[in-house]
Amino acid sequence: MPTAIAVTSADLVLPPTDPGTPRAAVLPPPEGRPLDASVADMQQLLTRYGHVVVVCPTSVPAAVEHRLHAVRSLLESDRIALVRTDLPPLGAAVLVRQLCRLTGCDFTPGVLASAARLLAHYIYAGAVLGSVSRLDRVPVGLGSHLKSWLPGAHFAVLAGPTPQMVRVGSGEQALAGPEFATELLLARGHLQTDWPATTLVPRWRIPGPVQETALPASSPAWWGTGKLVEFAAYLPDLSVLHQLVSSVRREICHWCGMDLIGDRCGFCAAPLTVPEPGGGAYAGARGTGSYAGAQDAGSYAGAYTDPQGTDPRPADPRHALEPADPHAPGPAVPHPTRALGPGAHTPRALP
């Protein structure tokens, strides 16, 4: 029984790449919808699939996140994972489609939920904007703010994996792109420009035709303007995605018992290792199979070799999830939230 992938908006559902890819389930927004109806929707997914991974962008209204937590609490279920992502709308939609494709593979629900953070690092999501005066999700300098008022000024902005911004025009700096083979997906708003196809494609050595889709309704609000062309470069091959995820060492969450990859459980958000007094929150992670210890654990090292001679790893795989410095004082880690089973009253303390 495959794991269900659910989303908080229909904007995050792209057409499937093949007939065998299941579509993500759309959870209706809480506005004007009673809580018991939301509970019934989730219960139906749990009954059909067993586990549900909900991809919830950090840009959604607080009411959406509150409704998801309320539904999970009322169902007292530890089979619902709430995965947050900072990706812009089109990039988040690409991530959702990749997760949907991976549900047909041999991954457990815990691995799928924690793999979202890994896959997001390999999605180069950005946009060409007619103005950056209202852009507040990517760092914008004062000079760029002033130049955005010039007639005809366009800006190419990369939101992730590393934020960048350049002014489109003669002598422009190049956006640092992926060092592995990708495909490009475009979504056009109210901006007439072919810059992604004419400039970005050859610079990033993207083969094949550029795919286009409808602009997500939430994109203008995310980017601060409707004059945009949003783009996302991503790994298109299922075999590469499968090998990328399967090459990372699996662990068992000490809190909820789910499988995980990386340094944090996708279902209960508990860290891989229990923080010790006076140690960092991720102290010891490098030796226990987290992304930070990929070279020692054999996860990224030798995981995949592109037939074209490229490698999907970032320049420094230790930065894939940006773990905390193990020598720095760790932040206070609250007890992770764990769904309670029937008859339970309080969660147990961390061991």
pLDDT tens for 116-145 read 999 999 999 999 999 888 888 887 665 544
In the structure, what pLDDT confidence band is assigned to residue 167 with cuts at 50, 70 and 90?
Answer: confident
Give the model confidence (pLDDT) of 290-310 as tens digits.
333 333 333 333 333 343 444
- Residue range 96-104: mean pLDDT, rounded: 96
- Residue range 317-339: mean pLDDT, rounded: 37
Which strands sit side by side in the sheet containing 164-167, from one edge to the other?
A: 164-167, 155-160, 124-129, 228-234, 183-188, 211-213
What CA–CA distance (Å, rounded) separates 112 from 299? 16
- Residue range 235-245: mean pLDDT, rounded: 95
pLDDT confidence of residue 58: 94
Q: Are 68 and 82 in contact (CB under 8 A)?
A: yes
Q: What are phi and psi of 238, to 5 degrees?
A: -65, -35
Tokens for 34, please give them.
């009673």
pLDDT at 251 over 70: yes
Alpha-helical segments (H) within the chain: 35-49, 62-75, 89-102, 109-120, 142-147, 195, 201-203, 219-223, 238-246, 294-297
3-state secondary structure of 5: strand
CB atoms within 10 A of CB 18: 8
Give the single-character DSSP code of 172.
Answer: P
* First CA to last CA distance, the chain: 32
- Residue range 256-261: mean pLDDT, rounded: 91
What CA–CA distance (Å, rounded) separates 163 from 124? 10
**Which one is predicted more confidently, 276 or 330?**
276
- Residue range 38-61: mean pLDDT, rounded: 96
pLDDT at 190 over 70: yes
Torsion of CA 294, 297, 302, 303, to 10 degrees: -70
pLDDT confidence of residue 295: 30
Query: Which residues make beta-bridge pairs with 155?
Result: 129, 167
Q: How many residues does the chain have?
A: 351
**Which one is predicted more confidently, 178 or 337?**
178
> Model-level pTM?
0.78
**Sheet strands (E) in the chain:** 4-7, 25-26, 52-57, 80-85, 124-129, 155-160, 164-167, 183-188, 211-213, 228-234, 250-252, 259-261
